[in-house]
Structure 1
Amino acid sequence: MSEIPSTDEALANLSMPLLDAMMTQRAIRRVKPDPVDDAIVVKCIELALRAPTGSNGQNWEFIVVKDQRVKDQLGKRYRQPWSIYGALGRRQAANDASMLKILKAVEWQVEHFSEIPVLVIPCLRGGTRVPYVPTPFVGETSYFGSIYPSVQNLLLAARAMGLGASLITMPLWNVTSARKILGLPLSVTPICVVPLGWPRGRYGPTTRKPVQEVVHLDQYGNRGLTP
């Protein structure tokens, strides 16, 4: 089990080479209940804000949750959809040891959600929907595309400092309920949740498909691009 660094040590670890962080940034769902210094959380968000947004709108807000009551309420919302999706996932992955391992980690996170020291909830101001008018697809992609680059920056910063982190959305499945729990106005939409805590395990190399299996040249299906 990894040791918890001091705040100064964690901040100094931001000197980690970018390639190292990218190659070892796996989802860490099992984390310790030990507190995370506010300075470390603020640094994660400060680096998240360096990401691009559509038209440089910077229409983001970040809710940092440490209050036990709020964590308990979000944990309850997490358990509700997981009771369905978890069962379906285990059934579909019955013969897939790798996926079962992931599901087991998610289940741990669901069961221990209230013990996670910090939750960061990236949100967006404004929106793309006009009542009774269909939203163009490009409007949807532009809207959500204005927050996820910052989320990736946050995850990389957490990785460099040795924090366990993952990207989840299930606690927000009922956005009306999530807004009420977080005290959000209708003009602010919660997009995802990033639980933060000192890892019980370790970061390590991620396993991904070979690039040749997912790259297409000019049109889908043309595998003409080679390294």
Structure 2
Amino acid sequence: MELSEAMRSTGTCRYFSDKHVEDEVFYQAFDNARFGPQGGNRQPVRWIVVRDKDTKARLAELYLPYWEAYYAAVIEGSKAVGAVPATVESANYFAHHLAEVPALVVVCAEAEGLHPTDHELDRLSVVGGASIYPTVQNLTLALREQGVATALTTLLCAEEPAVKELLAIPAGYITAAHIAVGYPRDGFPRKLTRTQVNEIAFLDRFDAPMFS
């Protein structure tokens, strides 16, 4: 598979088949994902693959209240337009069937391996994620290459203490994301909708589009 094809078709999958994802598939994906760029080659990312039925159910139970709060806000706002977007409805299905996904990958990162340079600015600190999320994206692409779909969520990070206790994650590690992994029930998307290049790329200044 061409890299560009993988990047253009690795969308968020919310409908999974019940087909088992073999260890060999995960191994190959992790083997490729680990080459993601990170500061100082600290390699802070660790993965926990959760297949146990009861553990997945507990993670789904922790996840659902955060989704329900968001969904309720969308429903309230949708009264004006009279409909809920299909993407939100698919996400609602996903939330209520999270425990049925073949595997959930919990993304952990060693806090000492992160080097945020923006934590003193008067805004949300995000730079520490630069040593985490490129590797996470590598994983989704490496799985896509093997015909395996993913859905990345960060809602469950709000329940980090409970997740750490449930999964025996040691002190000094944080949870950075959770990835649903499995074979897609309905195949991969043929076309993803994204903002055009001429609206997101600028030259020298933010008010100077690079491409017309």
Matched, 1:209 2:195: yes
Query: Displacement, 1:211?
Result: 1.0
Aligned pairs for 1:85-96 (under 5 A) are 85-93=70-78, 95=81
Structure 1 counterpart of 2:120, one-letter code: P
Query: Displacement, 1:75?
Result: 0.2
Q: Which runs of 5+ in 2 are unaligned?
A: none
Matched, 1:186 2:187: no
Query: Displacement, 1:212?
Result: 1.0
Structure 1 counterpart of 2:200, one-letter code: V
Query: Identity of paired residues, percent?
Result: 26
1:199 aligned residue (169, 181, 184): 184
Alpha carbons of 1:205 and 1:179: their partners in 2 closer, same or farther (altered >3 Å)? same
2:120 aligned residue (136, 157, 165): 136
2:110 aligned residue (111, 125, 128): 125
Partner of 1:73: 58
Partner of 1:4: none
Q: Which runs of 4+ in 1 moved over 4 A?
A: 137-140
Structure 1 counterpart of 2:108, one-letter code: C
Counterpart CA distance in 1 for 2:63 and 2:33 is 25
Alpha carbons of 1:20 and 1:93: their partners in 2 closer, same or farther (altered >3 Å)? farther
Structure 1 counterpart of 2:30, one-letter code: I
Determine if contact 1:61/1:123 at 8 Å carries over to the other structure: yes
Counterpart CA distance in 2 for 1:173 and 1:65 is 18
Determine if contact 1:64/1:118 at 8 Å carries over to the other structure: yes
Tell me the TM-score normalized by structure 2: 0.88
> Helix, strand or coil: the match of 1:193?
strand
> Helix, strand or coil: the match of 1:226?
coil
Counterpart CA distance in 2 for 1:66 and 1:145 is 28
Counterpart CA distance in 2 for 1:221 and 1:177 is 45
Partner of 2:27: 42
Query: Displacement, 1:47?
Result: 1.3
Matched, 1:64 2:59: no
Query: How many residues are aligned here?
Result: 206
Alpha carbons of 1:50 and 1:139: their partners in 2 closer, same or farther (altered >3 Å)? farther
Query: Displacement, 1:93?
Result: 4.9
Counterpart CA distance in 2 for 1:75 and 1:37 is 22
Query: Displacement, 1:186?
Result: 2.2
Q: Which runs of 5+ in 1 are unaligned?
A: 1-15
> Helix, strand or coil: the match of 2:126?
helix
> Helix, strand or coil: the match of 1:124?
strand
Partner of 1:158: 143
Structure 2 counterpart of 1:53, one-letter code: Q
Partner of 1:177: 162
